[in-house]
């Protein structure tokens, strides 16, 4: 892509979605393009395809929201060489475009990569554990159940909520399940010890009991 075309894409992206900080902080506002009609929608598709050709993951997300199946091949090519949060977003963009259970695999791989800091979520892991709520396979459910015992609190918390979401629990906020919440929230500081991991095992048991009550 020429520098002029790249500059054209970046200028349009900023005018449409805001700058990089806004997208990071607020998330990508796909309604900025999904609400367009006629010539404006056509222009948006052209510009987003230009962004995808420039390997822009946000272009892939917006094209998915626009149901642009023509862009699926470009998204798959970009997914193949991606890592971390970018890999998660691209896999989800493809999944939302056309549901495919195999697209959970990139998210599982990101989630299961060791974090640089054992008490933090690492690159992309938090996005992955949240994104897995949109799948229904046995392998991705098993990955979430395992993540209930992750060293990082945020991963544990969102693993629980993703499981509740997948099981069709209304209002799946973990704070509505205080026993589970108390079990997974410790320790307040530092890495978990053996006692904490025993609590996470108990949290899994309580979560699976919720699933059993909802299974016919």
Same-domain status, 126 and 215: yes
Question: What is the DSSP secondary-structure string of 164-214?
Answer: HHHTT-SS--GGG-HHHHHHHH--SSSS--HHHHHHHHHHHHHHHHHHHHH
Listed residue (116, 150, 117) closest to 132, CA to CA: 150
Give the end of a domain, one of 98, 131, 157. 98
DSSP category for residue 118: T
Same-domain status, 49 and 126: no
Q: What is the pLDDT of residue 1?
A: 54
Q: What is the pLDDT of residue 166?
A: 96
Same-domain status, 206 and 118: yes
**Which phi-psi region, left, alpha or beta, contains residue 122 (left: φ > 0; alpha: ψ -120 to 50)?**
left
CA distance 182 to 196: 11
Number of domains in the chain: 2
Same-domain status, 128 and 210: yes
Same-domain status, 15 and 71: yes
Cα separations in angstroms, 167 against 74, 100, 133, 179: 33, 19, 9, 18
Domain of 74, in residue numbers: 1-98
Q: Which two tokens stand for residue 196?
A: 């904490």
- Does residue 107 lie within any of the structural domains? no
Q: What is the pLDDT of residue 188?
A: 85
Q: What is the pLDDT of residue 98?
A: 94
List of the chain residues with pLDDT < 70 = 1, 115-122, 216
Q: What is the pLDDT of residue 113?
A: 87
Q: What is the pLDDT of residue 121?
A: 54
- Does residue 164 lie within any of the structural domains? yes
Specify the pTM. Answer: 0.91
Same-domain status, 121 and 90: no
CA distance 128 to 209: 24
Residue 30 has a CB neighbour count (10 Å cut-off) of 16
- Does residue 9 lie within any of the structural domains? yes
- Does residue 108 lie within any of the structural domains? no
Q: What is the pLDDT of residue 122?
A: 59
Cα separations in angstroms, 210 against 51, 186, 202: 44, 22, 13
Q: Is residue 57 within 8 Å of residue 89, measured between CB atoms?
A: yes
CA distance 11 to 68: 22
Same-domain status, 89 and 126: no
- Does residue 105 lie within any of the structural domains? no
Q: What is the pLDDT of residue 179?
A: 97
Q: Is residue 144 within 8 Å of residue 132, measured between CB atoms?
A: yes
Same-domain status, 127 and 180: yes
Give the end of a domain, one of 34, 67, 98. 98
Listed residue (42, 43, 52, 73) closest to 6, CA to CA: 52
Listed residue (111, 161, 110, 103) closest to 136, CA to CA: 103
Same-domain status, 125 and 212: yes
Same-domain status, 66 and 127: no
By three-state DSSP, how is residue 1 classified? coil
Question: What is the DSSP secondary-structure string of 28-55?
Answer: --THHHHT--HHHHHHHHHHHHHHHHTT
Q: What is the pLDDT of residue 118?
A: 57
Same-domain status, 11 and 60: yes
Q: What is the pLDDT of residues 155-184, one digit of tens each?
A: 999 999 999 999 999 899 999 999 999 999
Give the end of a domain, one of 98, 125, 151. 98
Same-domain status, 1 and 85: yes
Q: Is residue 49 within 8 Å of residue 73, measured between CB atoms?
A: no
- Does residue 104 lie within any of the structural domains? no
């Amino acid at each position: 892509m020429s520098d002029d075309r790249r500059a054209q894409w970046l200028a349009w992206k900023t005018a449409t979605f805001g700058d990089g900080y806004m997208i990071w902080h607020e998330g990508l506002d796909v309604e900025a393009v999904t609400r367009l009609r006629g010539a404006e929608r056509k222009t948006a598709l052209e510009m987003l395809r230009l962004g995808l050709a420039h390997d822009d993951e946000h272009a892939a997300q917006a094209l998915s929201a626009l149901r642009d199946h023509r862009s699926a091949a470009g998204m798959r090519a970009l997914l193949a060489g991606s890592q971390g949060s970018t890999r998660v977003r691209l896999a989800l963009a493809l999944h939302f475009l056309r549901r495919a259970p195999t697209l959970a695999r990139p998210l599982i791989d990101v989630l299961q990569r060791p974090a640089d800091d054992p008490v933090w979520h690492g690159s992309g892991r938090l996005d992955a554990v949240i994104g897995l709520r949109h799948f229904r396979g046995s392998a991705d459910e098993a990955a979430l159940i395992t993540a209930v015992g992750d060293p990082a609190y945020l991963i544990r918390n969102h693993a629980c909520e993703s499981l509740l979401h997948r099981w069709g629990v209304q209002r799946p906020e973990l704070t509505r399940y205080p026993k589970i919440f108390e079990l997974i929230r410790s320790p307040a500081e530092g890495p978990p010890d053996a006692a904490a991991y025993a609590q996470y095992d108990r949290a899994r048991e309580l979560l699976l009991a919720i699933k059993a009550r909802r299974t016919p």
